C-alpha cells in the first residue's frame, strides 16, 4: 500500500488498532495526507476539538477519550459531521504517545480538566508523570504548544514543576482569549460558578 494511503478496513473516524499503527505510527497514512497534528486528551463529547476540526479542515486532529459513554457520543458526532480530518480513540493517552508518536510530530496538545484522582492512593493514575511530560517535549514540533487547564489546585501544583522541567511554561490565570466563556463544557460551568481555574501554556 503506497505511503499516505489509509487502510480501507479502518473505520472512517476511529484510529486503527495498535497492531496496525506501527511503531512509530505513519500519521500521514492514518489521515491519508500529511498535515499538522493536533491532539486533545480527555475531550468528553468533543466540543473543543470538533470546533477546531471544523475551523481548520487543513489540519489533522486526534481525540483521545477513555470513558465509554463520552467516546460513543464523540464518535457519533464526528461521523455525523463527516470530519475526514479527525480520528478518535479510546487508547490510553500516555501509552499511545509513548509508543506511537514520532519525535517532533505534534503541533498542539490540548488537555482540559483531566481526572485529578484526588485520593492519595490513586495519585499514581494521574496523567502528568515525569515520563509523560518528557514525551510531550519529545513529540512536540519546535514551537509546539501544550494548552492545559484544571480546577484542582493540588494537581496543578504537583504537575507544574514537571512541566517546567520539560517545557517553557507560562501560567494563564485569565480566560482564554479565543473563548472568554470557556473552551470546554466544564470550563463554562466553572466560570459561571466563579470556581478558580488554573491554566497554563507550555511551549518547546
Catalytic site positions: 115
Cβ contact 154:120 at 8 Å: no
Burial 117-146 (b: 16+ CB within 10 A, else e): eeeeeeeeebbbeeebbebbbbbbeeebbb
CA nearest neighbour of 91 among 61, 74, 73, 67: 67
Amino acid at each position: 500500500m503506497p505511503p499516505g494511503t489509509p487502510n480501507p478496513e479502518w473505520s472512517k473516524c476511529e484510529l486503527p488498532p495498535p497492531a496496525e499503527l506501527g511503531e512509530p505510527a505513519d500519521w500521514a497514512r492514518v489521515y491519508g495526507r500529511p498535515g499538522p497534528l493536533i491532539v486533545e486528551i480527555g475531550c468528553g463529547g468533543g466540543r473543543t476539538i470538533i470546533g477546531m476540526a471544523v475551523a481548520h479542515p487543513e489540519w489533522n486532529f486526534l481525540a483521545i477519550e477513555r470513558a465509554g459513554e463520552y467516546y460513543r457520543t464523540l464518535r457519533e458526532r464526528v461521523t455525523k459531521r463527516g470530519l475526514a480530518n479527525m480520528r478518535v480513540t479510546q487508547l490510553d493517552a500516555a501509552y499511545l504517545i509513548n509508543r506511537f508518536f514520532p519525535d517532533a510530530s505534534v503541533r498542539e496538545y490540548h488537555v482540559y480538566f483531566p481526572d485529578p484522582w484526588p485520593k492519595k492512593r490513586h495519585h499514581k493514575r494521574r496523567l502528568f508523570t515525569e515520563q509523560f511530560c518528557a514525551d510531550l517535549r519529545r513529540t512536540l514540533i519546535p514551537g509546539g504548544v501544550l494548552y492545559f487547564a484544571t480546577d484542582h489546585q493540588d494537581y496543578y501544583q504537583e504537575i507544574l514543576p514537571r512541566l517546567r522541567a520539560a517545557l517553557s511554561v507560562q501560567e494563564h490565570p485569565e480566560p482564554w482569549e479565543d473563548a472568554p466563556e470557556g473552551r470546554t463544557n466544564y470550563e463554562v460551568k466553572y466560570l459561571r460558578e466563579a470556581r478558580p481555574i488554573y491554566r497554563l501554556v507550555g511551549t518547546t
